[in-house]
A and B are shown apart, each in its own frame.
Chain A
């Protein structure tokens, strides 16, 4: 029964009683929850948004795995589920020995393991489903899924098949992409573990020292007090010589660059505190501060660890988006079957590969057969499709639009034009000047003030109550003003912001990026793919009076028979308008398609022709004529995204002056600028990647938003760069933040989040300075003893912690 149960309470609420509801109501897909198109809604049964989801749901039911739905309802979700992809590949290349050598590793106990990025993993139910794989795929030993990075590690015996497991992943709706662990990641993981050990060790020591210190505060004296203090000292040693090491390293690094970072006053505090306490311990008189010092180290280490994990979480997801470039290609073979799937890594120059319509071109090469159009928007920013035929050179990073191309590989990977850009980004060419973050700016003054004050306290104490007392007060001053809360203020606030933003599909690469985002004052927007959809579409449709229906009918009938990008745009436009009544497409006689010119044919005895007009300033135009008489003119081009105008308006209102920076021709750029109300002097067309980069470098505080490879250099040299949804890997790497949602709308949200988190940082800094003033004042008057320090420090840390978690009201609204 549980299976049936799950079906009803799981996705059921969307489907039960659909027939009784008015047809306008939206129906959600029983598998993924997406909206179901009207014609797919079924009255009595579950409705699905696509074939893929229906197939997955069928598989789940037939294998008795419907527990997936009930779990998903209960478990809560990280992300929204997505419609399931259809099985369109064999994954045979996964079992190719050459591929295995690159991607698989020894899992011990005679098993091999391979890691996959599982696209679409989003909740506890996904964990359950994928980790159950060994139960119904014989030959798979185990699967373990890491939800945070959507990575599944599959283990099989050496004779087993990764392809079979991958096909099952795909069938269940998670498209798998093999990932190769890099050395850098391993180093990172090892560093994480080392850091966690420091945190844990410092925490344990702090707890034990506090117990002992508490006894002393509580009144233990004489030999007991001495024993407890000595024990505290012994337990403090691991903190001093292991836990706090990162601070020494950081402080040393800063000093060597002749800079002061926040680590310098921290190390000063720790060193003075430890030395003074040890001296007092030996002499048997005076205060020891081991408890406060180890608590300080523990709190600071924890906040840095949390910050590190939050940052890595954001970076991890971006990095894994590398499947934007296809990792698998179809290579032509001499024997049957004519094509085999192989990994990009194994492709050699001279190989022949096949690229189907709507697939990206994975390499640089020469077309050997086929004729098609390419969308080069991501590589160059051009919005109009470009025709290619045999003998012409094509580049990685373009997308094949209408028909199959066979291409001879000339260069792949880093050897391509795209690869060269990627390498330039990786090696840090055109990297921006580093900014000194707010905390470090403050700590410069902080050290000076603290040292000066300590000197003053010593002088005043020595004058009023003897040099011994003066020294004690000065030491207490340095210890109690050690900027614990100050050092916590930034990482806490920022890791909260980065974590929340990443749940909203805004991945921020680090604290630095957040600070830059908050202080940008102008925004440069790429046009193609950012402000516009990057796809060819109908912009304007003007038909002669009284002949509107005829024009639509004829255009649809003719263009439905063609594969040209213009034809496909027109068909898309008309079907979106609901033009084909009941799906009827008129019959065409004598249909003719002339390459690069247009199509013609006779419908109901009338000769119609759709002809491409001479390219004018405003882009592509198509003329429809009936018996020689023009009855409609259709303008085509790249369409402005929905909401782009409002988004740009809101950016302007928030103090970011918008400008356009595009690699496209003047015509389309001017059109978009006019629609958005951006003045001509803020509009730059035909900008090469170098020009973009140069222009943006000239702006002190410009936020650059882009998606393509041609934006990458500009994104990395801008004050702050944001890559938008649908962009290329190279632009993601170059940018400081990435938006997983399309369009420019989320840019404002991102900036708002950054500004609000900087407000929290400033508030935190203010709190911590207040505490330091209190501590400093108390030290001046000689009130500071270990108990005072032990209360003040956690209290200030707690204030900062609560302030960070609470955020601001605007931030809570923007990022829930």
Chain B
């Protein structure tokens, strides 16, 4: 059981860290728009493509 004395605080610390990060993000309004980011994901590959077109 001695491993638990290491694992338990570590797990709790990790959980605490992510919860704090979540609260920070929510407070900054990162989750205000839940719809558009799902679509924006699809646009990832575009910049290179349009770059070449603009030259043409």
Q: Which residues of A contact B (CB under 8 A)?
A: 2-3, 63-65, 67, 71, 74-75, 78, 123-124, 127-128, 131-132, 135, 145-148, 189, 192-193, 196-197, 200-201, 204-205, 207-208, 211, 224, 231, 235, 309
The one of A64, A71, A75, A131 in contact with B54, judged by C-beta atoms closer than 8 angstroms, is A64
Q: Are B43 and A127 in contact (CB under 8 A)?
A: yes
Q: Give A66 Cβ to nearest chain B Cβ, in Å.
A: 8
Against A, the Cβ 8 Å flags (1 = close, 0 = not) of B18-46 are 11001100110101111110011011001
Asked if B42 contacts A67 (CB within 8 A), the reply is: no
* Identity of the chain B residue whose Cβ is nearest the Cβ of A200 in the assembled complex: B22
Contact B32 A64 (CB under 8 A): no
* Cβ B23 vs Cβ A201 within 8 A: yes
Closest 10 CB pairs of A and B: A64-B53, A124-B39, A148-B35, A204-B19, A147-B36, A146-B33, A200-B22, A196-B26, A128-B43, A197-B26
* A224→B1 contact, CB < 8 A: yes
- 11 interchain pairs (CB within 8 A)? A3-B53, A63-B54, A64-B53, A78-B35, A131-B40, A131-B43, A147-B35, A148-B33, A196-B26, A197-B27, A201-B22
Which of B8, B26, B35, B42 touches A193 (beta carbons < 8 Å)? B26
State whether B36 touches A132 (Cβ < 8 A). Answer: no
| B35 and A146 contact, CB distance less than 8 A | yes
Knowing A64-B50, A189-B29, A204-B22, say if A148 contacts B36 (CB, 8 Å).
yes
Q: How far is the CB of B30 from chain A (nearest CB, A)?
A: 9
B15 touches A208 (CB 8 A): yes
Residues of chain B within 8 A (CB-CB) of A63 are 54
Chain B: which residue is nearest A145 at the CB level?
Answer: B36
Query: Do B49 and A2 have beta carbons less than 8 Å apart?
Result: yes
Q: How far is the CB of B43 from chain A (nearest CB, A)?
A: 5
In whole angstroms, how far apart are the Cα atoms of A197 and B32 in the complex? Answer: 12
Chain A residues with CB under 8 A of B18: 204
17 additional A-B residue pairs with CB within 8 Å, beyond A132-B50, A193-B29, A204-B19: A3-B53, A64-B56, A67-B50, A71-B43, A71-B46, A74-B42, A124-B43, A145-B36, A147-B35, A189-B29, A192-B32, A193-B27, A193-B31, A197-B27, A201-B19, A204-B18, A208-B11
The answer, yes or no, to whether B3 is at the interface (CB within 8 Å) is: no
What chain A residues lie within 8 Å of B29 (beta carbons)?
A: 189, 193
Q: Does B6 contact A (CB under 8 A)?
A: no
Q: In angstroms, how far is the closest chain B Cβ from the Cβ of A7?
A: 12
Which A residues are in CB contact (< 8 Å) with B15?
204, 207-208
Question: Closest Cβ of chain A: how far from B22's Cβ, in Å?
Answer: 5
A78 to B43: give the CA distance in the assembly, Å: 16
Please, how many angstroms separate the alpha-carbon atoms of A10 and B17 in the complex? 46
Least Cβ–Cβ distance between B15 and chain A, in angstroms: 5
Q: Are A127 and B19 in contact (CB under 8 A)?
A: no
SS class, residues of chain A in contact with chain B = helix
User: Are the CB atoms of A200 and B19 closer together than 8 Å?
Assistant: yes
Question: In whole angstroms, what is the CA distance A433 to B36 when docked?
Answer: 38
The interface centre, meaning the residue of B12, B15, B35, B36 with most chain A CB atoms within 10 A of its CB, is: B36
Docked complex Cα distance between A124 and B29 (Å): 21
Query: B45 → chain A, closest Cβ, in Å?
Result: 10
Chain B residues within 8 Å of A211, by CB: 11
In the bound complex, residues from chain A placing their C-beta under 8 Å from that of B49 are: 2, 67
Contact indicator B23/A197 (Cβ below 8 Å): yes
Chain B residues with Cβ under 8 A from A148's Cβ? Answer: 33-36
Cα of A145 to Cα of B40 in the assembled complex, Å: 10
Distance (whole angstroms) from the CB of A124 to the closest CB of chain B: 4
**List of A residues within 8 angstroms of B22 by Cβ:** 197, 200-201, 204
- Closest residue of B by beta carbon distance from A64: B53
Cβ–Cβ < 8 Å partners of A147 in chain B: 33, 35-36, 39
Bound Cα distance A63, B50 (Å)? 9
Q: How far is the CA of A124 from the CA of B42 in the complex (A)?
A: 7
Q: State in angstroms the CA–CA spacing of A503 and B38 once bound together.
A: 17
Contact check, A123 vs B34: say whether CB atoms are below 8 A apart.
Answer: no
Tell me the complex Cα distance, A127–B4, Å. Answer: 49
Asked if residues A200 and B26 are in contact (CB atoms below 8 Å), the reply is yes
With known contacts A71-B42, A127-B43, A196–B36 Cβ distance under 8 A: no
User: Across the interface, do B46 and A146 meet the contact criterion of CB distance under 8 Å?
Assistant: no
Q: Which residues of B contact A74 (CB under 8 A)?
A: 42
Nearest residue (CB) in B for A66 is: B53
Closest Cβ–Cβ distance, residue B19 to chain A (whole Å): 4
Are A75 and B50 in contact, CB atoms less than 8 angstroms apart?
no
Question: In the assembled complex, how far is the CB of residue A406 from the closest CB belonging to chain B, in whole angstroms?
Answer: 43
In angstroms, Cα B11 to Cα A211, docked, is 10
Minimum CB distance partner of A238 in chain B: B19
Distance between Cα atoms of A52 and B15 in the complex (Å): 54
A349 to chain B, nearest CB (A): 39
List of A residues within 8 angstroms of B40 by Cβ: 124, 127, 131
Using CB atoms, name the residue of chain B closest to A151.
B33
Q: How far is the CA of A75 from the CA of B26 in the complex (A)?
A: 27
List B contacts of A127 (CB < 8 A).
Answer: 36, 39-40, 43
Whether B36 and A189, one on each chain, are in contact in the complex, defined by CB atoms closer than 8 angstroms, is no
Decide: A75 and B36 in contact? CB cutoff 8 A: no
Question: In the bound complex, how far is the Cα of B31 from the Cα of A200, in angstroms?
Answer: 12
CB distance from A226 to the nearest CB of B (A): 14
With CB as the reference atom, state the residue of chain A lying closest to B4.
A224
Considering the chains assembled together, what is the distance between the CA atoms of A53 and B35 in angstroms?
A: 27
Q: How far is the CA of A201 from the CA of B25 in the complex (A)?
A: 12
Bound complex: CA A32 to CA B1 (Å) = 66
CA distance A71 to B44 in the complex (A): 11
Chain B residues within 8 Å of A224, by CB: 1, 4
Contact B23 A200 (CB under 8 A): yes
Nearest-Cβ distance from residue A303 to partner chain B, whole angstroms: 16
| Inter-chain contacts of A78 with B (CB < 8 A) | 35
A600–B50 Cα distance when bound, in Å, is 61
Chain B, Cβ-Cβ closest to A75: B42
How far in angstroms is the closest Cβ of chain A from B10?
A: 12
List B contacts of A204 (CB < 8 A): 15, 18-19, 22
Q: What residues of A have a CB within 8 angstroms of the CB of B11 in the complex?
A: 208, 211
- B23: A residues at CB distance < 8 A: 197, 200-201
A214 vs chain B, min Cβ distance (A) = 12
From B4, B26, B35, B39, residue with most partner A Cβ within 10 Å: B39
Task: Say how far A134's CB is from chain B's closest CB, in angstroms.
Answer: 13
CA distance A65 to B51 in the complex (A): 10
